[in-house]
Amino acid sequence: MATTFSYDEVFNSFLGMVSDYEFLSMSGSDANELMTEYLHKSISKPYTRRLFASIILKDDIQQITFEMKYVVDESADLDFVINILAIGMAIEWTLPQVRSKANMQQFYGGKEQNFYSQANHISELRGLLDDLKVEQQKLIKDRGFFNNPYLDKT
């Protein structure tokens, strides 16, 4: 059975995961467009896409309709999908942070300025990105493991 929900549910979950005040300074339509792009990229990943028998994004009315390959419980599946997509959006949000030109260029300053290791900073950003990817993959694996019908039989 297909389930439909609003983009806003995923966007709210995503915004709860990241602290980016740049979204507050953007116009609503620009922020919405950027988050919609993150959502599309999140769904396009094979590891995420394989969970669904079908998934349709309707950008004009901001709704997602999906059907899981393996249904556990409709409300649990909805919460799971929102969480997986929000984490995927956080991954897509983090990628440009790691690859930004500011992080790539060497920084020099005067003797009164404090310096922080750029290598450590980039390493921390990469670690955050890796942690998000592992968290998303672990949730997907755990769902498959804990809801495997072959393991329920005695």
Q: What's the pLDDT tens digit per position in 8-60?
A: 999 999 988 888 778 778 888 888 899 999 999 999 988 889 889 999 999 99
* β-strand partners of 58: 63
Q: What pTM did the predictor assign?
A: 0.75
What is the distance between the alpha carbons of residues 35 and 28, in angstroms, rounded to a whole number?
11
Give 22: exposed, middle or buried? Use CB within 10 Å, 0-12, 13-18, 19+: exposed
Q: Given this model, what pLDDT does residue 113 score?
A: 58
Range of the domain at 30: 3-149
* β-strand partners of 5: 64
**Among residues of the chain, what percentage have pLDDT more than 90?**
36
Q: Given this model, what pLDDT does residue 154 score?
A: 47
- Would you tell me how many other CB atoms lie within 10 Å of the CB of residue 1? 7
Please report the DSSP string for 74-127 in residue order: HHHHHHHHHHHHHHHHHHHHHHHHHT-HHHHS-----TTS----HHHHHHHHHH
80 in a domain, yes or no?
yes
Mean pLDDT confidence for 101-115: 57
154 in a domain, yes or no?
no
Report how many domains make up the chain. 1
72 in a domain, yes or no?
yes
Q: Given this model, what pLDDT does residue 101 score?
A: 59
The DSSP secondary-structure symbol of 7 reads H
What is the distance between the alpha carbons of residues 57 and 60, in angstroms, rounded to a whole number?
9
Token pair 């980016």: residue:
20
